Amino acid sequence: MLDGSPADQLPTGALDGSPVDQPPDEVLIQQSLLVAERFGPLFDRHASAVHRYLARRIGADADDLLAETFLIAFRQRATYRKLHVNVRPWLFGIATNVLRRHARQEKRRYRALARVPADPGGEAYATDDALGRLEAQSLRRDLADALAALKRGDRDVLLLSAWAELSYNEIAAVLDIPVGTVRSRLNRARRVTRAALSITITSEERA
């Protein structure tokens, strides 16, 4: 049983500022196996991007999930090199696995966003543009509803591609699934979300 919050259990210095001149991520992980504090600069480098990804998906609880993500990363750092990916995708993969325990909460968030009145002057985007350019708080109602309806695995792949900007190979590595599965899930998720957008746009044109 752990004592205190996940943030409290990070190695000393993980939440502090660190010098700009630091070794590459992979070197820091190897050094941290001997000196735990060497893991700290990785938080400084990647916490903002991982937090933004978590906040888009889960909202206000992103802070807690960010701390949990880095705590897991610290504990699993000895196995990092087995994935053959850079540290940033590895962290996004851990964050996505953490989110899986909050799947219902994430779906409720999208359902709530889908109930927000639409902006009549809002611009219509293609699915990929909407995901890539809009913050979760500004998601179109139809797109938010489509995200809520997606299967968890399909949603993970779609948002790792659109919001974390991972490649197919990186997504396959961090989720431990074949690249072919990544492609099929991504195609299916895009098809569902595009259909939701096109239906709404067509309805607006008829109104």
Say whether both 51 and 111 belong to one domain: no
Supply 70's token pair. 């880095």
Mean pLDDT of 160-176: 95
Domain boundary among 101, 124, 146: 101
Say whether both 3 and 97 belong to one domain: yes
Instruction: Say if residue 51 is exposed, middle or buried (CB neighbours under 10 Å; 0-12, 13-18, 19+).
Output: middle
What are the residue ranges of helices labelled H in the chain?
Answer: 25-32, 40-58, 62-75, 87-100, 103-114, 127-133, 141-149, 152-162, 168-175, 179-206
Provide the domain count of the chain.
2
Domain boundary among 101, 133, 152: 101
Say whether both 136 and 191 belong to one domain: yes
Say whether both 129 and 96 belong to one domain: no
Domain boundary among 50, 73, 101: 101
Question: Which of 135, 123, 136, 137 shows the shortest CA–CA distance to 197?
Answer: 123
pLDDT tens track for 95-116: 999 998 888 888 888 888 777 6
Give the mean pLDDT of the chain. Answer: 79
Indicate which CATH number applies to the domain containing 178: 1.10.10.10
Poorest-pLDDT segment among 34-38, 46-50, 121-125, 183-187? 121-125
Indicate which CATH number applies to the domain containing 63: 1.10.1740
User: Residue 120 has what pLDDT?
Assistant: 46
Q: Would the pLDDT of 206 be above 70? A: no
Mean pLDDT of 40-45: 95
Q: Domain of residue 90: give its range.
A: 1-101
Q: Would the pLDDT of 141 be above 80? A: no
pLDDT tens track for 44-97: 999 999 999 999 898 888 999 999 999 999 999 999 986 789 999 999 999 999
Say whether both 168 and 192 belong to one domain: yes
SS3 102: coil
CB hemisphere CA count around 142 (13 angstroms): 21
User: Residue 72 has what pLDDT?
Assistant: 97
Say whether both 113 and 124 belong to one domain: yes
Say whether both 46 and 124 belong to one domain: no
Q: Would the pLDDT of 203 be above 50? A: no
Q: Structure pTM? A: 0.76
